[in-house]
Structure formats: C-alpha cells, structure tokens
C-alpha cells in the first residue's frame, strides 16, 4: 500500500497548492491530478467488504496497520473521486488511529472551501469516505 498521501503530500501541501489557483476549474484539475498519484487497487479488493456506501461513484477502501500507523489503499471508478480520496488521505494516511480520530477534518474541508463547490451527492460521498476511515481507526484504536 504505497501512495504519496500523508507522507510526501500532506494536508498542508494541498491547502497551499489549492490556494495558488484562481478558479475552481483549475482546482478541480489539480484534484483530478492528485487522483492519478494513487496506485490502482487490486481488483480482488474491489468487493462488498471494501465498498463504501453512500458514494455516488464506486469507492473502495482497504487498510493495513504497520508500526502503529494506518495505511490506506483506495480506489474509485471516477477520476474526480480518486482525487477527493487523495485529499482525504493527505490528512489521514500514515497516522496513528488516535491521530485520525482527533484530526479536525471539517476544519480541513472548510479551509479548502471544497464542500461548497461539490454537488450534495459528492459532499455526502466525501463524508462517507471519512466515516469509513474513522470507523477503521476506531476499531484498531
């Protein structure tokens, strides 16, 4: 489970980079490019167990605990959603379960200005992804 999110691409990096763009069209392109940084998930993991309910697109999340930190393997069938997964992973990947549970994700989203620029169904999907990751963290905590 290797991707750059949470290690070389942090939540602060995403906040800083999105701040450089003048338009949301440019920001969406950046978010889509973030999704290209994710390695494709093994098709064997694209099953009911890893599927996230509440997302408009298909989203799968798997996790692995290594040295007290959670690492996530994620995928989606939609480019923008893969990018949004990258935005979420920048905040959560490679963190201890208690760090994930204490992280103020709503403030992060507010700082990005993201939720008001997503459709209601995409916003619900983002919250479903966050909820799944927090649930994983709480059961490994």
The answer to whether 52 touches 132, Cβ cutoff 8 Å, is yes
The span from the first CA to the last CA of the chain, in angstroms, equals 20
- 93 annotated active-site: no
Length of the chain in residues, anyone? 141
Nearest Cα neighbor of 69 from 92, 86, 87 is: 92
Task: Name the catalytic one among 55, 88, 90, 129.
Answer: 55
Nearest Cα neighbor of 128 from 85, 70, 79 is: 85
Pairing of strands 59-66, 69-76: antiparallel
> What is the set of active-site residues?
55
């Amino acid at each position: 489970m290797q991707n750059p999110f949470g290690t070389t691409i942090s939540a602060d990096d995403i906040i800083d980079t999105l701040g450089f763009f003048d338009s949301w069209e440019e920001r969406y392109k950046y978010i889509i490019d973030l999704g290209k940084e994710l390695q494709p998930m093994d098709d064997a993991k694209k099953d009911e167990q890893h599927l996230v309910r509440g997302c408009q697109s298909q989203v799968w999340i798997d996790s692995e605990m290594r040295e007290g930190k959670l690492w996530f393997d994620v995928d989606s069938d939609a480019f923008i959603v893969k990018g949004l997964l990258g935005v979420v992973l920048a905040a959560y990947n490679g963190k201890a379960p208690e760090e994930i549970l204490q992280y103020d994700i709503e403030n992060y989203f507010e700082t990005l200005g993201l939720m008001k620029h997503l459709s209601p169904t995409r916003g619900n999907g983002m919250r479903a992804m966050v909820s799944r990751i927090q649930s994983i963290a709480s059961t490994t905590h």
